[in-house]
Amino acid sequence: MSNYFNDSLAYLDEALEFFKKLPDFDNFRQSLTTPNRLIEVNFPILLDNGRKILVKGFRSQFNNLLGPYKGGIRFHKNATAQEVTNLSFLMTIKNAVVNLPFGGGKGGVLVDPKKFSKTELERISRGYTEAIVDCIGPRIDVPAPDVNTNSVIMDWMTDEYIKLKIKKEKLKNNELLATFTGKSLNNGGVVGREEATGLGGAIILQGMLAKLKNKFQYKNEKPTVAIQGFGNVGYFLAKYLYLSGFKIVAVSDSKGAIYVSEGLNPDLTLQCKREKGELSGCYCVGSVCDLKKGRRITNSKMLSLPVDILVPAALENSINRDNVGEIDASIILEMANAPLSKEADKILSKRGVVIIPDILANSGGVTVSYFEWRQNLDNKTLTIDQVRRKIRQKLEEAVENVWQIKQKYRVNLRIASYILALERFKQK
Ligand code: NAD
The tens digit of pLDDT for each residue in 188-233 reads 999 999 999 999 999 999 999 999 986 767 777 789 999 999 999 9
Contact 179, 378 (CB under 8 A): no
Nearest CA to ligand 1 atom 36: 336
Which helix (H) or strand (E) covers residue 109, if one does?
Answer: strand 104-109
Nearest CA to ligand 1 atom 17: 254
User: Per-residue pLDDT for 246 more than 70?
Assistant: yes
Ligand 1 pocket, mutate which of 70, 197, 273, 323 (most atoms under 8 A from CB): 197
Write out pLDDT tens, residues 88-121. Answer: 999 999 999 999 999 999 999 999 999 999 999 9
Per-residue pLDDT band for 367 (boundaries 50, 70, 90) equals: very high
- 194 C-alpha vs ligand 1 centroid, how far in Å? 13
Nearest CA to ligand 1 atom 32: 336
CB atoms within 10 A of CB 245: 9
User: Per-residue pLDDT for 176 more than 50?
Assistant: yes
Burial 269-292 (b: 16+ CB within 10 A, else e): bbebbeeeeebbbbbbbeeebeee
- 206 C-alpha vs ligand 1 centroid, how far in Å? 21
The predicted pLDDT at position 49 comes to 98
Per-residue pLDDT band for 1 (boundaries 50, 70, 90) equals: very low
Which helix (H) or strand (E) covers residue 176, if one does?
Answer: helix 173-177
User: Per-residue pLDDT for 253 more than 90?
Assistant: yes
- 270 C-alpha vs ligand 1 centroid, how far in Å? 15
CA distance 103 to 35: 11
Ligand 1 neighbours (beta carbon < 6 A): 197, 228-234, 252-254, 299, 313-315, 335-337, 362, 365
Specify the ligand 1 atom closest to the Cα of 193.
Answer: 40
Write out pLDDT tens, residues 142-162. Answer: 999 999 999 999 999 999 999
CA distance 323 to 327: 7
CA distance 284 to 388: 27
Nearest CA to ligand 1 atom 9: 231
The predicted pLDDT at position 3 comes to 66
Write out pLDDT tens, residues 293-342. Answer: 999 999 999 999 999 999 999 988 999 999 999 999 999 999 999 999 99
Please tell me which residue in 70, 94, 106, 273 is annotated as part of the active site. 106
The predicted pLDDT at position 74 comes to 96
User: Per-residue pLDDT for 360 more than 70?
Assistant: yes
Nearest CA to ligand 1 atom 31: 336
CA distance 421 to 93: 6
- 275 C-alpha vs ligand 1 centroid, how far in Å? 20
The predicted pLDDT at position 167 comes to 81
- 400 C-alpha vs ligand 1 centroid, how far in Å? 27
Write out pLDDT tens, residues 324-337. Answer: 999 999 999 999 99
- 319 C-alpha vs ligand 1 centroid, how far in Å? 15
The predicted pLDDT at position 424 comes to 97
Ligand 1 pocket, mutate which of 94, 154, 232 (most atoms under 8 A from CB): 232
- 314 C-alpha vs ligand 1 centroid, how far in Å? 4
Specify the ligand 1 atom closest to the Cα of 335.
Answer: 30
CA distance 233 to 336: 8
Q: In the annotation, is 106 catalytic? A: yes
Nearest CA to ligand 1 atom 27: 233
Angle at 337 between CA 332 and CA 339, to 5 degrees: 50
Instruction: Find the mean pLDDT for residues 416-421.
Output: 98
Note the pTM of the prediction, 2 decimals: 0.96
Instruction: Find the mean pLDDT for residues 131-148.
Output: 96
Instruction: Round the average pLDDT of the chain to a whole number and report it.
Output: 96
Contact 20, 107 (CB under 8 A): no
Ligand 1 pocket, mutate which of 253, 299, 304, 334 (most atoms under 8 A from CB): 253
Which helix (H) or strand (E) covers residue 141, if one does?
Answer: strand 141-145
User: Per-residue pLDDT for 385 more than 60?
Assistant: yes
